[in-house]
Amino acid sequence: MGKISEMEMESCIPPGFRFRPTEEELVGYYLKRKINFLKIDLDVIVDIDLYRMEPWDIQDRCKLGYDEQNEWYFFSHKDRKYPTGTRTNRATAAGFWKATGRDKAVLSKNRIIGMRKTLVFYRGRAPNGRKTDWIMHEYRLQTSEHGPPQA
Amino acid sequence: MGKISEMEMESCIPPGFRFRPTEEELVGYYLKRKINFLKIDLDVIVDIDLYRMEPWDIQDRCKLGYDEQNEWYFFSHKDRKYPTGTRTNRATAAGFWKATGRDKAVLSKNRIIGMRKTLVFYRGRAPNGRKTDWIMHEYRLQTSEHGPPQA
């Protein structure tokens, strides 16, 4: 599942439609189906290996065919561990993602279905590094109040 | 073609997609195909008889199934004339649409493909009437610089 998919999104959405999902749709439909190995109608969210990519390389992998895009969507595994064990979990070659603020609940019909963590990309190595403008929202399913995160 | 269509849009767009067309897509794809009687992939723009409807009734006819909509799209004939001839062209039962500002060109690859007129709805009868917050953008094809409007 960490493998980079080479599939292109097939263009079967009529003109004028844009992918502007709500957080409820992202978590309750896309992430939930992905984790449960269920078919997703359209491969609009690609699989990437986040910690082997720099944020500025993600755009090309995740673009949807229209120009004005300034948000990109992808699936990636968290907590990828390497046998050599020298890299921290959220590091890339050029920098690292660092969490900021508090996690936020994603609701569906007043019920918590997932959590959102916000991360900022820093160039360099922790605890140093220069903050950039790249922001990531990381979503995970949340099935029970104190259950383990699932994605 | 002025007949009100009773068809409902079939829900074959995956979750997360919203109808957010550019003006180029509205004119160059939807309006152009409509006028040329060509098939449109999805009946996302319904036919209405604009001058038999009040603006606040249009929402129900043109809603797309998600909640946060604050723009509605439709096809309607301009310059509908009634044999009795007492109503002005842009009047409804409750008020009238009045043009405001200048027409704006709709471009595709630096070429004019259509024109956009902006109209405001007034309650009452011209030359009186109370201005409302309802705004309409009326698009027409424009094939040559001084050619007649086509829709």
Q: What ipTM describes this predicted complex? A: 0.74
Exposed e or buried b per residue across A116-148, where buried means at least 16 C-beta atoms within 10 angstroms of its C-beta? bbebbbbbeeeeebeeeebebebbbbbeeeeee
Cβ contacts of A21 on chain B, cutoff 8 Å: 15-16
B14 lies within 8 A of chain A by CB: yes
A20 lies within 8 A of chain B by CB: yes
Give the residue among A71, A75, A64, A42 at the shortest CA–CA distance from A135.
A71
Q: Is the dihedral of CA A94, A97, A100, A106 positive or negative?
A: positive
User: CA dihedral defined by A103, A108, A110, A114, rounded to 10 degrees?
Assistant: -30
Write the single-letter amino acid at A63. K
Mean pLDDT, chain A, integer: 82
- Residues 33-62 of chain A whose Cβ lies under 8 A from any Cβ of chain B: 40-42, 44
Exposed e or buried b per residue across A59-76, where buried means at least 16 C-beta atoms within 10 angstroms of its C-beta? eeebebeeeeeeebbbbb
Per-residue pLDDT of chain B (151 residues; tens, 9 = 90+): 233 333 334 457 889 988 989 999 999 999 999 999 998 878 889 899 888 899 999 888 787 766 667 889 999 987 555 566 655 568 899 999 999 999 999 999 999 999 999 999 999 998 899 999 999 999 999 876 555 554 4
**Global confidence as pTM:** 0.75
Burial of B54 (0-12, 13-18, 19+ CB in 10 A): middle
Q: What angle do CA A38, A40, A45 make, to 5 degrees?
A: 120
CA of A45 to nearest chain B CA: how many angstroms apart?
A: 11
Structure confidence by residue, pLDDT tens digits, A23-69? 999 999 999 999 999 988 788 898 998 888 999 998 888 877 666 67
Q: What angle do CA A52, A54, A60 make, to 5 degrees?
A: 100
CB nearest to A18's CB, from B18, B30, B41: B18
